[in-house]
A and B are shown apart, each in its own frame.
Chain A
Amino acid sequence: GAVVSQHPSRVICKSGTSVKIECRSLDFQATTMFWYRQFPKQSLMLMATSNEGSKATYEQGVEKDKFLINHASLTLSTLTVTSAHPEDSSFYICSANLAGVFEQYFGPGTRLTVT
């Protein structure tokens, strides 16, 4: 149980275009979802915390107009990278909380390459 999926697993886009990444909790309802960014050989950096039906809370230094997060249901959160640039190329990972379990379940990640 407690499986989180991400789609797509890999995406290549041209500079200036927008890309949407989906994060789904497959077998549970997630009260909170989190979006992380990971550069090569580095740790995970929290970008934002997303609660269903409310605005996401962004970490300091993360541009909310560039990284749009929508949490439309208890099983789906989306991250849209708008007007992508090569420096946005990274590994994006989402996670989801199961209420009362005190644990985050991680998706497999999405590799974004902006050319």
Chain B
Amino acid sequence: AQSVTQLGSHVSVSEGALVLLRCNYSSSVPPYLFWYVQYPNQGLQLLLKYTSAATLVKGINGFEAEFKKSETSFHLTKPSAHMSDAAEYFCAVSQMNFGNEKLTFGTGTRLTIIP
């Protein structure tokens, strides 16, 4: 079984401020973890993924996330927010490494950037 909890359905930050989007997971086996971004009326774009290599994962557009097994967390951060970061962000978990290719998504966090 696997699940994801995203704390905060809406997050607002000022342009240039730190972005922190929270994700906690539950998995019966060591998980693979993903962050996706979705712009209005579009599909999902992969920001980054954790696949049991380095715990600090760097992705596109300046985003990074750190896998913390002790906290069962995979929070997404970006040091300085840009207006173009305004979008919906989804954390997802899978057990692809154990033959289960399904992705289970969190409920999403809508990020608003304040000029």
Contact partner, A109, options B32, B34, B43, B108, Cβ 8 Å: B43
B103 at the interface (CB under 8 A from A): yes
Hey, what's the 0/1 contact readout for A21-61 against B, CB within 8 Å counting as 1?
00000000000101000000111101001000000000000
**Binding site secondary structure of chain B:** strand
Cβ of B68 within 8 Å of any chain A Cβ, yes or no, is no
| Nearest B-chain residue to A51, judged by Cβ | B101
Whole-angstrom CA separation of A49 from B97 in the bound complex: 17
A43 and B43 within 8 A (CB): no
A80 within 8 A of B: no
B102 touches A97 (CB 8 A): no
**Which residues of chain B are within 8 angstroms of A111 by Cβ–Cβ distance?**
41
Q: Contact at A102–B51, with CB atoms within 8 Å?
A: yes
Residues on B with C-beta less than 8 A from A8 are none
CA distance A43 to B107 in the complex (A): 5
Distance of A34 Cα from B45 Cα, bound (Å): 15
Contacts known (A43-B108, A46-B102, A49-B101); A93 close to B90, Cβ less than 8 A: no
Assess whether A42 is in contact with B44, with CB atoms less than 8 Å apart. no
Q: Count the A-B residue pairs with Cβ separation under 8 angstroms: how many?
A: 51
Contacts of A72-115 to chain B: CB distance below 8 A: 91, 93, 95, 97, 102-109, 111
State the interface size on chain B (CB cutoff 8 A): 24
Cβ distance A36 to chain B, nearest Cβ, rounded Å: 8
How far is A41 from B40 in the complex, measured between Cα atoms in Å?
A: 10
A99 smallest CB distance to B (angstroms): 10
**Is B96 located at the chain interface by the 8 A CB criterion?**
yes
A84 to chain B: closest CB distance in Å?
Answer: 20
Contact (A102, B96) CB under 8 Å given A43-B90, A43-B106, A97-B101: yes
- Pairs across A and B, CB under 8 Å, 10 listed: A4-B43, A41-B110, A43-B90, A43-B106, A43-B107, A46-B103, A93-B44, A102-B49, A103-B46, A109-B42
Q: Which 3 residue pairs spanning A and B have beta carbons closest together? A: A106-B43, A106-B44, A108-B43
